[in-house]
Amino acid sequence: MKLPRLLPASPVEESLSGRVFVYLGFGIGCLGVAIYGQDYVVPAVGLAIAALGHIVSYRGRRQKRSISGQALVASMVFASMAYFLADSVGAIFGGVMPQANFAILLVAVTSFDLKTRRNCYSSLWISLAILYLAAVYAWDYLFAVLAGVWFVCLAGFWAASHLRRLGAAFRLPAGAAAVALLAATGIGVLAFFFIPQPQAFPSGPLVVSLPTFSQFKGEIENPALPLVQIQGSTNTVDLRYRGRLGDAPVMYVRTGAPAYWRGLVFDTYSDGVWTSSRRGGTPFPPYVPARLLGPGPDHNLGTFVQTFRLLRTLPGVVNAAYPIESLYVPVGQLARDPYGTFHTPGVLRAGQTYSVVSYIPDLSAARLEQDPMPQFESGDVAWDLEYTALSTDARLLAQHAVEGHTATEYDIVTALTSWLQDNYRYSLEIGHVRPGVDAVDQFLFVDKKGYCEQFATAAALMLRSLGIPARLATGYSTGTYDPVLNQSVVRERDAHAWVEVFFPNDGWVPLDPSPGYAGLPATKFPDRWAASGIARLIPHLTIGAAPAILASAGFLGVIPPAIAIALVVVLAYAWLRRRLVRRRLRAADPPGSSDLLDLYDRLQKRSGRRRAPPETPLEYWGLMQDAPDEAVLEEVTQAVNEGAYAGRWPERARVRELAERLS
């Protein structure tokens, strides 16, 4: 039975230059994998095989496919798939980007069968997929350049294939093609910067479920903050010691929204040391879908994806924006502690990546003001209200700080936060805590300066003393956020501690009492208009300012843009008109006439005496026999006479020659 054709037949691709572009596109994908995946063997082997395959394909492009040849290609495809499975499950070949390597081998194998234009397109698209897989590791502008070059290869293939189809050689008007390419790039860049970028619903990571035989063996250990790891136990934050804050990058975070990357949470404070009172963890698979984590917050504004790439070995804590909707960490198993933080069995190695989808709850001031005061009894450990370590003076100070602002929980929280930010100084240069002295008291009454841990600890305990549940959260602040790449570079110095406050209707809300930070560091969607990100870099200028001013002017606001548009139109019209008139004049003028008369005018200026109106050119020349340019003047006079009286104006080249002699 003859099967119906699903697709129309694709013509044989005759363009050699088009095939070169296909190969270059593949090369770009391989380059991306080599640069970002630091995997060189498979890309190099793939490129070599593909080069051979392209030669074979081009030479045999008009030959009919043989069954044996098809079977060979198919077997090689299956071999590539076997490689992929072996590398993915057992990490036999290192396990670095197995999908990209599989795609590379797929392109290399199918290069032997690139006969039609459709085959070439398929090869190019898979090259794009390779590039996209490399993007998992790509965190810089160079990658955009690679992607741009790939699209140039695509355009090159289009052009080469089209010209070959026409029967023309691969040549184009260089100027026009360059202008077109630059215009497209310019328009694309302008659109990128000046068109607000919509945000749809981000999808979670694509997960291929593969069998795994490793089990979760770790415990909840290792706080996320390397700066406090010099002394103290592994699951504590000790205010008596601190590490160094370097500038070295810790991780890159590609994120849809800048946020605090929360790690461990501590609820028990004693003798200057924070510990976690609740132990144990619930096991989860490496991919935790939303259904395993329960429903999101009622006041959810949306979700956003973060992809973390670690640049140094970190404790096995999944730093991310919380609350989490779903996540994928390429480890054997995950565990979630009672505070909602996810842990990995071992340390997270440099180079590892993981993806998290987080909710963005509505934590606006207007909403939080609606929350009632929590009704718990003071000292309830279960609800993070234990504050016995706080001295009596500190408790009185807390009451003083919020005096007059006790209407709602939100008022109290903001009042205390503002008070701390206003009256205490942020400094990393603080002395050691003396033995027998509480670290909070030393911060509040002696040093009156400190860093995030001092501020957060003081705020947490003072809030507890006011009957508000609070706990210490640690992790990293947003880092250096790039609105164009949607990426944060998180460095050692971004390690941070803040407070989580319990609101009855909204759960645990982050609060940052450290000076220089937003008091309510709620995650918000950034303005995804790239230009607004650029504008933020310019002090006192925002892109939206001008439209806002115009909008406030009402109907009259139309006038300035109208004037601007009219000005542009008039200027453009004048420019076009002038151009047209000059072109007409040039067409009407005999060749060289205006240039010759200009030259004649210059000669008169140089000789120091202009020709009087009654004088003929010959009379003028006769009187200027002693002029320094007499020889040129004679020839120019003859040329002017011939032009004016006989209509035989000289060629432009002749006028240029005379002018050169003059200079």
Question: Which one of 11, 90, 94, 188 is in contact with other proteins (CB under 8 A)?
Answer: 188
- CA 147 from chain centre, in angstroms, equals 13
Question: Within 447-486, which residues bind other proteins (CB under 8 A)?
Answer: 484-486
User: Two tokens at 639?
Assistant: 């040329």
- Residue 16 interacts with other proteins (CB under 8 A): yes or no: no
How far is the C-alpha of 521 from the C-alpha of 178, rounded, in Å? 48
Nearest distance, CB of residue 78 and other proteins, angstroms: 29
Nearest distance, CB of residue 168 and other proteins, angstroms: 4
Q: Which stretch binds other proteins (CB under 8 A): 103-111, 175-183, 488-496, 539-547?
A: 175-183
How far is the C-alpha of 149 from the C-alpha of 30, rounded, in Å? 13
Q: For residue 475, give the nearest of 222, 176, 659, 105 by alpha carbon.
A: 222
- CA 663 from chain centre, in angstroms, equals 57
Q: What is the H or E stretch that residue 132 is in?
A: helix 117-134
- Residue 304 interacts with other proteins (CB under 8 A): yes or no: yes
- 101 vs 255, which CB is nearer to other proteins? 255
- Residue 143 interacts with other proteins (CB under 8 A): yes or no: yes
Q: For residue 501, give the nearest of 535, 462, 530 by alpha carbon.
A: 462
- Residue 183 interacts with other proteins (CB under 8 A): yes or no: yes
| CA pseudo-torsion sign 528, 530, 531, 537 | positive
- Residue 622 interacts with other proteins (CB under 8 A): yes or no: no
Question: Within 237-276, which residues bind other proteins (CB under 8 A)?
Answer: 254-256
- 37 vs 513, which CB is nearer to other proteins? 37
Nearest distance, CB of residue 136 and other proteins, angstroms: 10
Nearest distance, CB of residue 163 and other proteins, angstroms: 5
Question: Within 593-612, which residues bind other proteins (CB under 8 A)?
Answer: none
Name 314's bridge partners. Answer: 348
Q: For residue 541, give the nearest of 530, 531, 550 by alpha carbon.
A: 531
| String of contacts with other proteins for each residue 509-548, x by CB under 8 A | -------------------x-x------------------
Nearest distance, CB of residue 102 and other proteins, angstroms: 21
Which residue has tokens 């080599």?
A: 34
How far is the C-alpha of 222 from the C-alpha of 235, rounded, in Å? 5
Interacting residues of 264 by C-beta distance below 8 A, sequence separation 6+: 223, 224, 225, 235, 276, 317, 339, 341, 473, 474, 475
Which residue has tokens 């400190």?
A: 450
Question: Which one of 93, 170, 376, 445 is in contact with other proteins (CB under 8 A)?
Answer: 170
Collapsed DSSP state (helix, strand, coil) of residue 279: coil
Nearest distance, CB of residue 151 and other proteins, angstroms: 6
Q: Which stretch binds other proteins (CB under 8 A): 141-149, 436-444, 602-610, 618-626?
A: 141-149
User: At residue 8, what is the residue type?
Assistant: P
- CA 379 from chain centre, in angstroms, equals 46
Question: Which one of 106, 305, 531, 640 is in contact with other proteins (CB under 8 A)?
Answer: 305
Q: Which stretch binds other proteins (CB under 8 A): 104-112, 200-208, 410-418, 431-439?
A: 200-208
- Residue 200 interacts with other proteins (CB under 8 A): yes or no: yes
Question: Which one of 97, 135, 310, 520 is in contact with other proteins (CB under 8 A)?
Answer: 135
Secondary structure of 583-627 as H, E, C letters: HHHHHHCCCCHHHHHHHHHHHHHHHCCCCCCCCCHHHHHHHCCCC
Question: Which one of 199, 270, 399, 505 is in contact with other proteins (CB under 8 A)?
Answer: 199
Nearest distance, CB of residue 120 and other proteins, angstroms: 14
Contact 470, 463 (CB under 8 A): yes
| CA pseudo-torsion sign 442, 444, 450, 455 | positive
- CA 427 from chain centre, in angstroms, equals 32
- Residue 177 interacts with other proteins (CB under 8 A): yes or no: yes
Pairing of strands 353-361, 324-328: antiparallel
Nearest distance, CB of residue 195 and other proteins, angstroms: 7
How far is the C-alpha of 160 from the C-alpha of 308, rounded, in Å? 40
Nearest distance, CB of residue 484 and other proteins, angstroms: 6
Give the count of beta carbons closer than 10 Å to the beta carbon of residue 228.
21
Residue 84: HSE in the Cβ half-sphere, 13 Å Cα cutoff:
16
Nearest distance, CB of residue 507 and other proteins, angstroms: 25
How far is the C-alpha of 72 from the C-alpha of 62, rounded, in Å? 19
- Residue 488 interacts with other proteins (CB under 8 A): yes or no: no
- 145 vs 568, which CB is nearer to other proteins? 145
User: At residue 173, what is the residue type?
Assistant: P
Contact 104, 30 (CB under 8 A): yes
SS3 content of the chain, % helix, strand, coil (to 5): 45, 15, 40
Nearest distance, CB of residue 583 and other proteins, angstroms: 13
- 198 vs 614, which CB is nearer to other proteins? 198
First to last CA, the chain: 88
Question: Within 144-163, which residues bind other proteins (CB under 8 A)?
Answer: 144, 147-148, 151, 155, 158-159, 161-163
Nearest distance, CB of residue 420 and other proteins, angstroms: 35
- Residue 8 interacts with other proteins (CB under 8 A): yes or no: no
- 45 vs 149, which CB is nearer to other proteins? 149
Question: Which one of 165, 449, 493, 602 is in contact with other proteins (CB under 8 A)?
Answer: 165
Number of shown-chain residues binding other proteins (CB under 8 A) = 53
Question: Which one of 203, 209, 552, 663 is in contact with other proteins (CB under 8 A)?
Answer: 203
Residues in the chain: 663
Nearest distance, CB of residue 141 and other proteins, angstroms: 9
Interacting residues of 65 by C-beta distance below 8 A, sequence separation 6+: 113, 115
Question: Which one of 10, 66, 185, 406 is in contact with other proteins (CB under 8 A)?
Answer: 185
Summarize as ranges the residues that interact with other proteins (CB under 8 A): 135, 143-144, 147-148, 151, 155, 158-159, 161-163, 165-173, 175-177, 180-181, 183-189, 191-192, 195, 197-203, 254-256, 304-305, 484-486, 528, 530
